[in-house]
Chains A and B, each alone.
Chain A
Amino acid sequence: MRKAKLNVYRGDKNGGEFKQYEVPVEEGMVVLDAIHYIQAHDAPDLAVRWNCKAAKCGSCSAEVNGMPSLMCKTRMDRFGDDEEIKVQPLKTFPIIKDLVTDVSWNYEVNKKIKGFSPAPDEKEWVIHQEDIDRVQEFRKCIECFLCQDVCHVLRDHDRKDAFMGPRFLVRTAGLDMHPKDTANRMKYLKDEGHIGMCNITKCCTEVCPEDIHITDNAIIPLKERVVDEFYDPIGKFIKKVLGSNK
């Protein structure tokens, strides 16, 4: 049976090291299986966060050979026979232990977004499929935070003080494009969420395990809505004259 070599980061906020483990590769095996094998046979104290093993809970986010990935969705047979597999915790968030990071900053960002706000006098809710298709794409998000991890604004520039990140632009898009929502989140997006920090380099879309088109369907449409409100005086004037039917 083929044996894979995994270099797994072992450590905490004070430092650590990569330890190499050999794991027998079985058909259909994923990286999370290999981590479980290591836990069972070599390192019972290896810390890893996981839950469903079906790419639906978003818990087992890590970096495999440098790419933010769900370990449960990363098959072992994609690696060459002699290829060493490097498994690291998410870079963008503080490490707790081994492969587990503290992602609580995300939940603080989430609290700042104005929630779903239907009109108070709305009596009858009839929603056509074409009105809700866009929003349903955003509801697929499993909050694995891989998009937050790979976003260079948060990852390389550490601008958590300013930028809300792609995950919360997706959530905002889902609220703002809802046909029954009435809230205006544009000022928040521009001045507090700082959507302008995003330079749409699409890494969030590339790593999304749910294949949400984060950049094209959420971030860019929101950027254009911000332009409507703050950077397009001619369009705003025309809408004022003709009346908007948003």
Chain B
Amino acid sequence: MNEISMTVNGETVSHTVEARTLLVTYIRDHLKLTGTHIGCDTSQCGACVINFNGKAVKSCTMLAVQADGAEITTIEGIAAGDQLHPVQAAFKEHHGLQCGFCTPGMIIAAVDMINRYGNTLDEATIRSELEGNICRCTGYQNIVKSIKAAADEMTGSSMSDQSSTSSAS
């Protein structure tokens, strides 16, 4: 058994786990944070994507012990109280989900890609960046639309705005 400790959604957590425990199992079964989903057994679907030390990774393809000392953010940790994260709000607004199973992974992946690309994130990039997240309901159209809208809002550029955003302070 291994003693592990990490920061999850801003809180320090410590547990004793078997070395073979997957990080996703730790998050769901030990921490009871069941927003992170397990959609496959083959590391392909992306429903388990979390933010690990600032990067989106598949929590089903990592051991919990590997995350000892890490900073983790799951879907439960991105809203500010009752205030949805802009990406969550955009998924709601643009109907970026149907059954919702893939949504936690989609949203964490979306936040990660917006962080990396900022206002250069265009539709083609969003589509190629969604390579690791599978959705079987939406056909991706509204997911792409949601991410684009969130990126525009978060980076202060708007595709529908005719006037360029003011940078005056």
A interacts with B: no
Interface of B with A (CB < 8 Å)? none
Interface of A with B (CB < 8 Å)? none
